Structure 1
Amino acid sequence: MKMRSFGVATSWLAASVAAAALIAVPTAKAQEDFPTKPVEMTILFGGTAQTIGQLLADLMSKELGQPVVPVSRTGGGGAIGYSHVHSTRPDGYNIVWNSNSISSGYHQGNLPFNYEAFEPIARVTVEVPALAVRADSGWESLSDMVEAVKSGETKLKMGASGQGSFTDLTAKALFQELGIEDKVVYVPYGDGKAPVELLAGRVDAAIQWPGQFIPHVQSGDLKMLCVTGSERVEVIDDVPTCAEAGAGDLDITMWRGLAAPEGTPQEVVEKLQEAARKAAESDQLKDASGKLGFEISFMDAQEFGELIAKDDEVIAELLKSGN
């Protein structure tokens, strides 16, 4: 009886091993041949984030030999897009054009998962927010605006692309640094609408990516007072940093990159990483960076993962302290 039982168990084990081997071979082959169908890239925001993401998807398509299809899933400070990608299979066919928003969203309670729910693929660009006002506002510098706000009876109407968004947090950190946070009222608008709202007079100031403001600055309708990073942005190097303009040691920069659901095979991540690297080295992306005001700053998956973890700690501490 014992021998018969052992024989059944042995047969079952052998069958299981054989079945596992049959499954493993096609899985390994699928990873080796990746991609064999289109890859979907979720884009979380409008404006320059969408423009850059669409160009990146096109450039990566040429490297991968399969279409990389950009799909806009905006809303909730990135929560809608992150949630979608998080729910997909970890096979490399669903990726997200991500940013620091993964940490700000999680630590504000908008996401039930943090950055560890994704495999980093590569950082591609960095962007520095800019503060802009109408050219006819009479404010030639940041100090002009601060002085007017402090002495005025009405509050500064500040455009906000969404509560808890990266630019919203940047604005609040800037005004706290300037000591005028109690004299600011936030007026919500949709992604990419900052110039429209400024030009229409519905808001007095807005913080967004330089690429949204540059055409209107060139036409003489808007003026950028400062950028929030520690260094000036090359394409608008006549615009001072906010720290240079009197905002203490403010230094806020957004990175953008690619990530896939946790558990995506390493071989697949590496193929996506190399396609992103080739795109970052292309003349097309370099030309776009000069026009839109972002900087190409490639990091491979390992370096990018370390950066995300480090930034997550900083963002968590900032939000905890109320900054």
Structure 2
Amino acid sequence: MELKAMKWIVGATALALVFGQTPARAEYPEKPVEMTVLFGGTAQTIGQLLADLMSKNLPNPVVPVARTGGGGSVGYKYVNATDPDGYNIVWNSNSISTGYHGGRTDFDYTAFKPIARISVEVPAFAVRADAGWETLQDMVDDIKSSDKKLKVGASGKGSFTHLTTMALLDKLGIADKVIHVPYDQGKAPVELLAGRIDAALQWPGQFISHAEAGTINILCVTGKDRITALPDVPSCAEAGAGDLDITMWRGLAAPADTPDEVIAILEAAAKTATGSEEFIAASKTVGFEPAFADHAQFGEQIAADDKWIGELIKDLGLNQ
């Protein structure tokens, strides 16, 4: 750089300081933003796609980093300990409440500031096709009329899917005739097809290809309505499980003191990503529902869900 040009830059900076101005800052984010992904499977698939799509609308990329374990607690603890500067966010879910009320974290949802809700997933309850149960009621009648114990897969005590499974079995009146069999996350179809379990509740994307092949029967989904990916599968309430209505939301959050202007930038990028054709197309094959909500609406839902999750965990004795 020529000496004359350098003197001009130094002089301009000095004048800005004299008149109470500061040199323009680079636009946030000035470096990559780490998105902590808490789980594998569907959560990881959606999270990676979301990060890629958000990166197209930001000066620097959003980079998904897997920090799994402890029903999400490993990742939540990591992000909670980072600086609230917008460079560490978490791909969160109802697991923030199951983790706290289940005793895996010593902080609740208020440790984070909501950015946006992105999607909703409705768990599906499935059995092996050779079990002979075409409907949920077939299974219930068989278990109740015999000495059989239903071997149900569980991907972690106190996890969202375990909590939902317990709530479903309680509604069906067979919770006392169940043996819970632990397995690694994402292994539900493998365990079902190998005959180690009789039933499992997981994300639809894990079951759809097997259901199409005729090896697994999906008996119901746990939300109050049927889902786009499984239009012929009834809700569990339709199938006889009373008023059961449990869904999993996923979204983005940052440490509680993250500046509002940073939250707004991330929210805008997330909204554009969620409404894209690519994201909507993926939802139909992976098995989730795009469901954008802004930071305020998302915050209200998190607080409301935390209340009923805490009450349900207590009622089912899963906080002991």
> TM-score scaled to structure 1, two decimals?
0.90
1:181-196 residue pairs with structure 2 within 5 A? 181-196=175-190
Deviations 1:48-101 (A, max 9, x none): 111101100111111113121111111111100100110111111111100011
Secondary structure of 2:57's counterpart equals helix
Alignment match of 1:309 (pick from 299, 303, 309): 303
Say yes or no: does 1:68 pair with 2:62: yes
Cα offset, 1:321, TM superposition:
2.1
* Conserved? CA contact 2:54–2:62, under 8 Å: yes
Does the C-alpha gap of structure 1 residues 176 and 92 become closer, same or farther in structure 2, counting only changes over 3 Å? same
Structure 2 partner of 1:83: 77
Secondary structure of 2:246's counterpart equals coil
Alignment match of 1:120 (pick from 97, 114, 117): 114
Structure 2 partner of 1:47: 41
Look up the equivalent residue of 1:302 and give its one-letter code. A
Q: What is the alpha-carbon distance in structure 1 between the residues aligned to residue 316 and residue 196 of structure 2? A: 27
Deviations 1:28-66 (A, max 9, x none): 966x62101111111111111111011001111111131
Structure 1 partner of 2:149: 155
Deviations 1:224-247 (A, max 9, x none): 000000000012110000011000
* Unaligned 5+ runs, structure 2: 1-16
Q: What is the alpha-carbon distance in structure 2 between the residues aligned to residue 152 and residue 65 of structure 1? A: 63
Look up the equivalent residue of 1:202 and give its one-letter code. R
Say yes or no: does 1:106 pair with 2:97: no
Q: What is the alpha-carbon distance in structure 2 between the residues aligned to residue 322 and residue 186 of structure 1? A: 14
Structure 1 partner of 2:222: 228
Q: What is the alpha-carbon distance in structure 2 between the residues aligned to residue 99 and residue 256 of structure 1? A: 4
Structure 1 partner of 2:232: 238
Say yes or no: does 1:260 pair with 2:254: yes
Deviations 1:91-137 (A, max 9, x none): 11111100011011111111110000001000000010000111111
RMSD: 1.8
Cα offset, 1:150, TM superposition:
1.4
Alignment match of 1:38 (pick from 32, 55, 70): 32
Look up the equivalent residue of 1:268 and give its one-letter code. V
Cα offset, 1:151, TM superposition:
2.3
Alignment match of 2:91 (pick from 93, 97, 108): 97
Structure 1 partner of 2:316: 322
Look up the equivalent residue of 2:141 and give its one-letter code. E
Q: What is the alpha-carbon distance in structure 2 between the residues aligned to residue 152 and residue 257 of structure 1? A: 43
Moved over 4 A (4+): none
Say yes or no: does 1:167 pair with 2:156: no
Alignment match of 1:201 (pick from 195, 206, 211): 195
Structure 2 partner of 1:8: none
Q: What is the alpha-carbon distance in structure 1 between the residues aligned to residue 105 and residue 66 of structure 2? A: 18
Number of aligned positions between the proteins = 300
Q: What is the alpha-carbon distance in structure 2 between the residues aligned to residue 304 and residue 95 of structure 1? A: 15
> TM-score scaled to structure 2, two decimals?
0.90
Q: What is the alpha-carbon distance in structure 2 between the residues aligned to residue 92 and residue 190 of structure 1? A: 32
Say yes or no: does 1:250 pair with 2:244: yes
Does the C-alpha gap of structure 1 residues 300 and 89 become closer, same or farther in structure 2, counting only changes over 3 Å? same
